[in-house]
């Protein structure tokens, strides 16, 4: 068994117990993070219509990325808090040194290391696959023309992305990094969601689904009734597959039912630890997303969290419904049937 996995599992069990006490017994708002979300860059070679970081990606004055020395310094401080690292952007594969950054993460003992990509550049940067535990590909449609329109890229690039996803899935089946596809559901693409699911089932790719969220509300809530019906029917199929084959669908049953019905949930965004490209700890609340403090030789992630998070504040229900897995899953972990959810998490780590 990978030493990183063993250590991470023990840490997450402890974190789960501590956060359960804070949330269920003490009724506190703030919890300690379960994972770090490392924005390696805000540069991107695409322009997705509902990009959650569109403001940062599309500004002409993007944040500069850290050099490798600073990357090690910051990630070492992050690793003192969480074992799991989710690398995203922007598009991480535009970085010439993304492999070196992943090497640093592995040397620090992060597990699992996940990287999210639009897959358009994966054929040029396939060496990242040996450094990852899970490759997460954005896959909102399997129609090349529709994918090109969604990404704001050429049809050729969209075809390349689909070919790259198939290539990575073949490597995964041969013992490489696990594969996950992230499908963001909107009134515009819900008609093709079943085709995405079929594609993932055919290629052995775990599917994660999430409703698009704009201004802290799911787009599906304001869609036309026909689109909402298709959405509900699709989630019913996803839930049915999850029951029979849990490994084929990402997320807990509670999460899937919640996004199916677009239900509010007890959001505790501090379950996620976002890190900006230039090494700042960011407030994880999507309605705020302000800078909490920079990690440097004088200030660590722990000191920033201790000084900038109100650990005594009681839980407060948010008016928003940011039904994203990074917010909903921690709520589910601390909500309904925690032992079963913890068991599912540990089983997933061993796959």
Instruction: Give the pLDDT band of residue 55 (cuts 50, 70, 90).
Output: low
What pTM did the predictor assign? 0.94
Give kind and range of the element (H or E) at residue 273: strand 272-275
- Answer whether residue 97 shows pLDDT above 90: yes
Relative to beta strand 280-282, strand 291-294 is antiparallel
Give the pLDDT of residue 68: 98
Instruction: Give the pLDDT band of residue 325 (cuts 50, 70, 90).
Output: confident
- Answer whether residue 242 shows pLDDT above 90: yes
Of 39-48, 61-70, 234-243, 328-337, the poorest mean pLDDT is in: 328-337
Non-local CB neighbours of 265 within 8 Å, separated by 6+ positions: 258, 321, 323, 327, 328, 331, 332, 335
- Answer whether residue 229 shows pLDDT above 90: yes
- Answer whether residue 273 shows pLDDT above 80: yes
Give the pLDDT of residue 215: 86
Give the pLDDT of residue 45: 84
Give the pLDDT of residue 157: 97
Residue 88 CA to its chain's centroid (Å): 8
pLDDT digits (tens, 9 = 90+) for 130-161: 999 999 999 999 999 999 999 999 999 999 99
Alpha carbons 284 and 52: distance in angstroms, whole number: 12
The span from the first CA to the last CA of the chain, in angstroms, equals 11
Q: Where are the alpha helices (DSSP H) in 139-298?
A: 144-151, 155-173, 193-203, 225-244, 253-261
Alpha carbons 258 and 145: distance in angstroms, whole number: 31
Instruction: Give the pLDDT band of residue 336 (cuts 50, 70, 90).
Output: low
Token pair of 215 as six digits? 């201004």
Domain boundaries of the chain, sorted by first residue: 3-350
pLDDT digits (tens, 9 = 90+) for 32-50: 999 999 999 999 888 776 6
- Answer whether residue 267 shows pLDDT above 70: yes
Q: Helix or strand or coil: residue 70?
A: helix
Q: What is the rounded average pLDDT of the residues 8-13?
A: 93
Give the pLDDT of residue 66: 96
Q: Which of 261, 272, 276, 274 minimizes the C-alpha distance to 321?
A: 261
Instruction: Give the pLDDT band of residue 314 (cuts 50, 70, 90).
Output: very high
Alpha carbons 255 and 337: distance in angstroms, whole number: 12
Domain 3-350 is of which CATH architecture? Alpha-Beta Barrel (3.20)
Angle of CA points 130, 345, 22, to nearest 5°: 125
Of 66-70, 80-84, 210-214, the poorest mean pLDDT is in: 210-214
Most confident of the ranges 38-52, 98-112, 285-299, 318-332: 98-112
- Answer whether residue 207 shows pLDDT above 90: yes
Q: Which of 56, 65, 67, 118 minimizes the C-alpha distance to 93?
A: 118
State the chain's mean pLDDT as an integer.
92
Q: Which has more pLDDT, 331 or 198?
A: 198
Q: Which of 130, 142, 228, 129 minimizes the C-alpha distance to 181?
A: 142
Give the pLDDT of residue 339: 67
Instruction: Give the pLDDT band of residue 63 (cuts 50, 70, 90).
Output: confident
Of 104-108, 158-162, 193-197, 319-323, the poorest mean pLDDT is in: 319-323
- Answer whether residue 56 shows pLDDT above 80: no
- How many CB atoms sit inside 10 A of residue 254's CB? 20
Q: What is the rounded average pLDDT of the residues 116-141?
A: 96
């Amino acid at each position: 068994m990978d030493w990183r996995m063993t250590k991470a599992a023990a840490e997450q069990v402890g974190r789960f117990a501590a956060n359960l006490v804070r949330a269920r017994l003490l009724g506190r708002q703030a919890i300690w993070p379960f994972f770090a979300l490392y924005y390696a860059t805000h540069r991107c070679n695409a322009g997705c219509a509902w990009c959650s970081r569109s403001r940062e990606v599309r500004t002409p004055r993007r944040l500069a990325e850290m050099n490798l020395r600073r990357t090690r310094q910051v990630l070492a401080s992050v690793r003192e808090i969480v074992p799991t690292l989710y690398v995203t952007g922007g598009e991480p594969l535009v970085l010439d040194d993304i492999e070196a950054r992943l090497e640093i993460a592995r040397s620090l003992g992060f597990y699992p290391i996940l990287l999210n990509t639009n897959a358009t550049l994966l054929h040029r940067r396939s060496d990242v696959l040996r450094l990852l535990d899970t490759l997460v590909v954005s896959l909102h449609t399997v129609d090349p023309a529709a994918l090109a329109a969604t990404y704001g890229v050429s049809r050729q690039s969209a075809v390349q992305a689909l070919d790259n996803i198939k290539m990575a899935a073949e490597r995964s089946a041969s013992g490489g990094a696990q594969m996950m596809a992230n499908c963001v559901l909107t009134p515009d693409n819900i008609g093709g969601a079943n085709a995405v699911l079929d594609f993932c089932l055919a290629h052995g790719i775990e599917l994660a689904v999430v409703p698009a969220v704009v201004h802290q509300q799911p787009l599906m809530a304001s869609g036309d009734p026909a689109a909402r019906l298709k959405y509900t029917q699709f989630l019913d199929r996803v839930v049915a597959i999850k029951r029979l084959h849990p490994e084929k669908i990402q997320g807990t049953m509670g999460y899937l039912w919640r996004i199916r019905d677009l239900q509010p949930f007890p959001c505790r965004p501090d379950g996620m630890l976002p890190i900006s490209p230039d090494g700042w700890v960011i407030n994880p609340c999507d309605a705020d997303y302000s800078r909490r403090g920079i990690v440097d030789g004088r200030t660590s992630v722990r000191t920033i969290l201790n000084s900038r998070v109100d650990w005594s504040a009681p839980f407060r229900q948010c008016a928003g419904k940011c039904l994203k897995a990074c917010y909903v899953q921690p709520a589910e972990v601390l909500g309904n049937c925690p032992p079963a959810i913890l068991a599912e998490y540990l089983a997933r780590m061993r796959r």
